Amino acid sequence: MKTLYMIALLFFVAAATETFAQTAPRTEFAIQLSKNALEVKAGTSTEINVNILRSKTYTKSKAKLGFSSQLPEGISVSFEPAEGLFDTSVATIHVAENTKAGNYQFILNAELNNKVKGSIVKLAVTEGKGNAVVTLNE
């Protein structure tokens, strides 16, 4: 019985260790987004979580969130928090009413200890209420 208990305990510890190894990198850090592909109507906003997975070396490093690429016209992103010692931030993606429908992508990134890591966001903008074109014939 004691052996069975010990085997079960070792299996649990090994499984827990493997799960942790998949989420936290052994060295440096990684960026993980709650969603990498989004569909948003023009004139609306959506939120995604930006998780910073840190190795032991980076546990006390302050992070700064930003972009590695230019944002498409009519799209803006704000972070809460944008800087500091945190593991998760909420990125709010705003799509202006006059943004053209289409597929866009940009890179959200985090900087820790002068190292930058990023993740690609694919954004499909669909027509909103304000995007209708009216033609008047005189």
- Torsion 21-68-78-119 (CA) sign: negative
Asked whether residue 18 is assigned to any structural domain, the reply reads no
Question: Percentage of residues in the chain with pLDDT exceeding 90?
Answer: 70
Asked whether residue 89 is assigned to any structural domain, the reply reads yes
Phi-psi region of 123 (alpha: psi -120 to 50; beta: other; left: phi over 0): beta
Q: What mean pLDDT, rounded, does the chain reach?
A: 84
pLDDT tens-digit series, residues 27-41? 899 999 999 999 999
pLDDT tens-digit series, residues 95-125? 999 999 999 999 999 999 999 999 999 999 9
| Reported pTM | 0.74
Asked whether residue 8 is assigned to any structural domain, the reply reads no
pLDDT band per the 50, 70, 90 thresholds, residue 78: very high
CATH number for 58: 2.60.40.10
CB atoms within 10 A of CB 6: 10
Asked whether residue 20 is assigned to any structural domain, the reply reads no
Count the domains in the chain: 1
